[in-house]
Amino acid sequence: MTRPPIPFGRMLSYIALIGGSLLMLMPFYWLISTSLKTLKNIYVYPVQWFPNPIRWQNYTELFAEVPVLLYTRNTLIITVFNVIGTVFSASLAGYSFARLRFRGRDLVFSILLATVMVPFAVTMIPLYVMFSKLGWVGTFLPLIVPPFLGAPVNTFMLRQFFRTIPMELEDAARIDGAGRPRIFLQIMLPLAKPALTVTTIQSVLWGWNSFLQPLIYLRKNRLWTLALGINSLGMFMPGVPDTTHFQMALATVMVLPPVILYFMAQRAFVQGIVLTGLKG
Amino acid sequence: MQASAVSGSPPRRRFWRRLNFEDTFFGWLFILPSVLGLLLVRLGPVFVSLGLSFTKYEIISSPKWVGLANYIKLPTDRLWLKSISVTLKYVVMAVPATLVTAYAIALVMNRDIKGISFYRTLWYLPTLVPTVASAAIWRWALNPEFGPINYPLKALGLPAPRWYADPKWAIPSLVFMSLWSLGNSTLIFLAALKGVPDVLYEAAEVDGASTLSKFRHITLPMTSSIIFYQMIMSIIGSFQIFAAAWIFYGLGGDTIGSAGPANAGLFYVLYLYRNAFGYFKNGYACAMAWALFLAIMLLTWLGFRSQRAWVYYETEGGGA
């Protein structure tokens, strides 16, 4: 379109694309193939490229030895509350910052946005102290309550989105006597569906992937998430000489849901990254 | 708001006053959760942390004021210095490497090639892998004896590094891993490249500009503000790397986090975590956190000062 087609350049592009694709996919292949090998075949030289025999039992043994379903359930609990909390606090605040006029609004908004720059390490210890005084350490609460108390990046994104919705829609409802809560729930929220989808995806990923906070708060095995489960596989397991096959099988289990979500909602994924990434 | 209230007729004025009260009430009500969060989990802890950094605090006993003692101790702590050098080494390698690679990938993805959207989807997949899983995969893939990366190197008689097991290679290994999941930066760069108006290229073609000079004089300046933003975010993120290092060097070996051979992977936040949750030196850890915070703020400020020299903004009317 913009450049005249140069056959040589085009060929180079294809070589780069195909070579790059192989590089990108290689770790996935290594992950899945290792998860299906016998321990003996994992540690062989030269490398065994195709698992022979294919050992599906790695997965059944993993589920027997490690409470994978419990970890999945825990991860899901954290993820679901994360989504609900983020959507709740970010959509309300986003609408308020975008459309309601009141004194102090812009000041609060800029302070809220500025806190994004604060490294987590700074607030980590006071938060831990606070949650331990509340008796929340060793429960999911330190991970699922904060999302209900605001999510600056998503608030910013939703504010930008609400600002693009025509004023007339709101004005018409107001003349009909609708109050702010009704306008928000019945007019603005349904219109903000694309932005809410983006918010949902981002909080799903956060809940699914987070490691440091679960590590700090979920000290008991029965509360562990999948990420903590992978971490724990580095520790000694009675009767299992090496856990590499389990590590790879559990990593496969953990990788699948985000990949499926991506294929289900690819457009919202891309939109979200571009929307929150271009704010500068 | 006030101007319209003055200029309006009496019934209209009442309408506005009611509206203003309504806006103020619901405005604050709707941001109430966020304001509570700002005070309790965002801004409040920042000040508490600053206060704690001047104390000795082991959680079981109450904080004891020690003045600047924690900050004075920092430069004499050899592990603190080690963690700084480890982290800086990573930032200096990873930030340029990831920015250049992501930009290059975006340039390829921006080409008008059949089936390019298939490749875009494919190349984004690694970014979906959770950090913990990604670190576990790479730790195993970089296994010096049985990994698929060293095998061809050895087979071809090339030097095969011992990666995470060698202090010299520990950081480059992690940089290597970070190059696998660049999907997000690539997408942002791609959006920026698509935002460059076609007319600029067309005009340059009329003038007979070469591909290289078009890139140098149109593409780069027109995307420099995004490059700048990505650079700042990448620096901030790289300073705080934790999960990847924790799994990559230790994989849960112990509760304070392994840091690889000779502490070659003792990243700043890893050492901070160790002080806080391993040794219960919470005052000291807070001082460490504030040192990090100040360093990041200083770098961000320097970045913003430097952008005048190399970042092009259309509103300024200058640049290329």
Q: pLDDT (tens digit, 9 = 90+) per residue, B259-276? A: 777 788 899 999 999 999
At residue B283, does pLDDT exceed 60? yes
Which of B12, B22, B24, B30 best tests the A interface by mutation, with the highest count of A CBs <10 A? B30
Q: Quick check: B317 pLDDT over 50?
A: no
Q: Give the whole-angstrom CA distance, residue B257 versus residue B245.
A: 9
A residues 219-248 lying closer than 8 A (beta carbon) to B: 226-227, 230-235, 244, 247-248
Q: How many CB pairs under 8 A join A and B?
A: 289
Q: Which residues touch B194 (CB under 8 Å, ≥6 apart)? A: B110
Residues B107, B78 within the same domain: yes
Instruction: Note the pLDDT of residue B15.
Output: 53
Q: Look at residue B279 and tell me if it is in a domain.
A: yes
Tens digits of residue pLDDT in B29-44 = 999 999 999 999 999 9
Among A2, A40, A167, pick the best mutation site for testing chain B contact (most B Cβ within 10 A): A2
B75 and B15 assigned to the same domain: no
Residue B105 lies in a domain: yes
pLDDT value at position B257? 65
Whether B41 has its CB under 8 Å from any CB of chain A: the answer is yes
Number of domains making up chain B: 2
Residues B195, B301 within the same domain: yes
Q: What is the pLDDT of residue A54?
A: 93
Confirm whether B185 is domain-assigned: yes
Residue ranges of chain A with per-residue pLDDT less than 50: 279-280
- What's the pLDDT at B315? 59
**B160 and B202 inside one domain:** yes
The predicted pLDDT at position A275 comes to 75
Judgement on whether residues B243 and B278 belong to the same structural domain of the protein: yes
Over residues B208-232, the mean pLDDT reads 92
Q: Which amino acid is at B257?
A: G
Cβ atoms < 10 Å from Cβ of A3 = 12
| A21 contact residues in B (CB cutoff 8 A) | 119, 122-123
Q: What is the pLDDT of residue B16?
A: 52
Helix, strand and coil in chain A, % to nearest 5: 75, 0, 25
**A180 contacts in chain B (CB < 8 Å):** 22-23, 26, 30
Task: Please report where in the chains the tokens 């390698």 appear, as a residue.
Answer: B93
**Cβ atoms A213, A228 nearer than 8 A:** no
Average pLDDT over residues B169-183: 93
Q: What is the pTM of this model?
A: 0.89
Contact across the interface for B286 and A128, Cβ inside 8 Å? no
- In degrees and rounded to multiples of 5, residue B131 shows phi and psi of -50, -45
Residue range B285-316, pLDDT digits in tens? 999 999 999 999 999 999 999 888 888 886 54
d(CA A91, CA A189): 8
* One-letter identity of residue A134: L
Instruction: Say what the pLDDT of residue B8 is.
Output: 45
- Measured CA to CA, the distance from residue A109 to residue A119 in angstroms comes to 19
Substitution target from B61, B112, B140 for chain A, most A beta carbons within 10 A: B140
pLDDT computed for residue A257 by the predictor: 95
pLDDT of residue B5: 42
The whole-number pLDDT of residue B64 equals 94
Min Cα–Cα distance to chain A from B168, Å: 23
Query: Mean pLDDT in chain B?
Result: 88
Predicted local confidence at residue B3, as pLDDT: 42
B29 domain residue, yes or no? yes
Residue type, A22: L
Cα B68 to the chain's mean position, in Å?
30
Q: Which residue of A has its CA nearest to B107?
A: A13
Same domain, B46 and B18: yes
- CA-CA distance, A232 to A247, in Å (whole number)? 9
DSSP single-letter state for residue B62 = P
Residue B14 lies in a domain: yes
Same domain, B29 and B106: no
Whether B19 has a pLDDT exceeding 90, the answer reads no
Identify all chain B residues contacting A212, using CB atoms and an 8 Å cutoff. Answer: 242-243, 273
**B126 has pLDDT over 50:** yes
Do B30 and B129 share a domain, yes or no?
no
Q: CB contact, 8 Å: B188 with chain A?
A: yes
Whether B207 contacts chain A with CB within 8 A: no
Say if B102 falls within a structural domain. yes
> What confidence score (pLDDT) does residue B313 get?
80
Task: Give the range of the structural domain holding residue B39, as residue numbers without chain letter.
Answer: 2-52
B226 closest CB neighbour out of A128, A132, A278: A278
Q: Flag if A277 and B28 touch (Cβ within 8 Å).
A: no
For the CA atoms of A246, A248, A253, A254, what is the dihedral angle to 10 degrees? 120
